[in-house]
Amino acid sequence: MELHSKEIAAAVARKLLDIKAIRLQPKQPFTWASGWKSPIYCDNRLSLSFPEARTFIKEKLVEVIKKHFPNAEGIAGVATAGIPQGALIAEEMGLPFIYVRSKPKGHGMENMIEGKVTKGQKVVVIEDLVSTGGSSLKAVEALKASGFDVLGMAAIFTYGFEIARQNFENAELKLICLSDYEAMLPQAIENNYASDEDLQSLAEWRKSPDTWEKE
């Protein structure tokens, strides 16, 4: 896992905080579907409702693809939040677009991949958010099983968990993110989305999200 650039990471974090796509509540934590308590909730789908933020994110993801995956022949979005982001990028780059369901459709052709399947086509996978990387890498495996050549993945934001780093390393897949939790924290403090006294708790959560606040 790596960032596109430190400057872009800070800029994207500010925009996500400004539009409340990232919310920080260390004193009233959110509960994730996994049961983990979390001081952060990140919903990058909100960026789609803000043209300036949406365009900035699209342009920077296009930059990522041109720099790190210049041989891309197609864009693949991961359902559901990666679909609109991927479609915007594919349109901007004039490339074919497909998307990957979390599981095969239960009727009709029972597709897991929607769009034209072209074996050997070099694709870049688009995600809005990477946590552990499990669902993202499941989509990658589905693409590979259908004959696509997956060059790598680009995402808007990652929490930077060690388990995610290990999962992508084990999968031998390159992941480039626009921003991450570490880049977001100073922006949150600087712009008064969190206080200095919150900083230790916020930092501790990323190190051990499964045990944070369980005592």
Going by the annotation, the residues of the binding site for 5-phospho-alpha-D-ribose 1-diphosphate are 101, 105, 107, 127-135
> Annotated binding site: which residue ranges?
101, 105, 107, 127-135
Single out the residue of 143, 151, 44 nearest to residue 101, CA to CA: 143
Structure-derived torsion over alpha carbons of residues 155, 16, 81, 156, reported in degrees to the nearest 10: 0
> Annotated binding site for orotate: which residue ranges?
131
- Cα 42–37–25 angle (5° rounding)? 55
What is the rounded distance in angstroms from the CA atom of residue 155 to the CA atom of residue 184?
15
CA atoms within 13 A on the CB side of 93: 28
Whether the CA torsion 12, 17, 20, 21 is positive or negative: it is positive
Contact 26, 198 (CB under 8 A): yes
Single out the residue of 167, 188, 166, 173 nearest to residue 143, CA to CA: 173
